[in-house]
Chains A and B, each alone.
Chain A
């Protein structure tokens, strides 16, 4: 299982059952994961397409979306931030 975390406005459109998912065999990378999610959840896909989205893999910024994703990983999806 892969743990998924949706922050900010992505959390409003991501259903709770996406918190832990079993990935299909053809989802091997962060890029695959993002596209698979967009197909499964069009509203989430639209929200991610509409804003610059950062992916965090196991609490580290993912600079390369070809990074592999496997069971036990945690992936977070971050919309634009608004601190301060």
Chain B
């Protein structure tokens, strides 16, 4: 397992290649990459800033990931999350998991992303021509998180 919070841009394909290198024991790889969009809700996004709480953010993401990993018996996972200033087209988050079969690998990635949306100590601020605004989880994010908790 690995969790990394990074100020610099990362290449999801390169991360996945390193994560899976030499793993001929795994039958399934599932990955999700979240990107910064140029337009959201009809508004242009020039940049996104993600604040974090150094030390605590890494610890909390690792705790959430281990919790989901135990639930789906999927111990091999990778989480990379950008912080700082991000531009449209750049990757924000990568969650990848390796396992023997597909079902628990899909579940691991889907549920962990639902947890990260509402529970990871990260704060997004969008800047566009209209000004800046802090992003907060939407009701559907909380609903997905509740569903994820139930299974």
Residues of chain A at the chain B interface (Cβ within 8 Å): 5, 7-9, 11, 51, 56, 59, 76, 78-84
Q: How far is the CB of B12 from chain A (nearest CB, A)?
A: 14
A5 to B136, CA, bound (A): 19
Quick one: given A8-B51, A8-B134, A83-B93, are A76 and B56 in contact (CB under 8 Å)? yes
CA distance A81 to B123 in the complex (A): 5
Closest to B114 in A: A84
Q: Once the chains are docked, how many angstroms separate the CA of A7 from the CA of B55?
A: 13
B residues neighboring A (CB under 8 Å): 34, 51-53, 55-56, 59, 61, 81, 92-93, 113, 116-125, 134-137
Sort A-B residue pairs by CB-CB distance and give the 6 closest, nearest first. A83-B120, A8-B123, A83-B122, A84-B116, A84-B117, A83-B116
Given that A5-B53, A9-B134, A84-B93 are contacting pairs, would A79 and B117 also be in contact in the complex, using a CB cutoff of 8 Å? no
> Which among A5, A51, A84 has the highest number of chain B CB atoms within 10 Å?
A84
* Docked complex Cα distance between A76 and B116 (Å): 19
Are the C-beta atoms of B113 and A84 separated by less than 8 Å?
yes
CA distance A56 to B56 in the complex (A): 9
Expressed in whole angstroms, the Cα–Cα distance for A74 and B79 within the complex equals 27
In the bound complex, residues from chain A placing their C-beta under 8 Å from that of B61 are 83
The distance in angstroms between the C-alpha atoms of A13 and B69, with both chains bound, is 38
How far apart sit A43 and B119, CA to CA, in the bound complex (Å)?
Answer: 25
Please state if A81 and B120 are interface contacts (CB–CB under 8 Å).
yes
Residues A81 and B134 in contact, CB atoms below 8 Å apart: no
Question: What residues of A have a CB within 8 angstroms of the CB of B34 in the complex?
Answer: 84
A59: chain B residues at CB < 8 Å are: 55-56, 59
Give Cα A46–Cα B56 distance, bound, in whole angstroms: 25
- Whole-angstrom distance from the CB of A57 to the nearest CB of chain B? 11
A37 to B140, CA, bound (A): 33
Contact A82 B53 (CB under 8 A): no
Instruction: State in angstroms the CA–CA spacing of A59 and B53 once bound together.
Output: 9
Chain B, residue nearest A58 (CB): B56
Whether the pair A84, B123 counts as a contact (CB closer than 8 A) is: no
**B114 CB, min distance to chain A CBs, angstroms:** 8
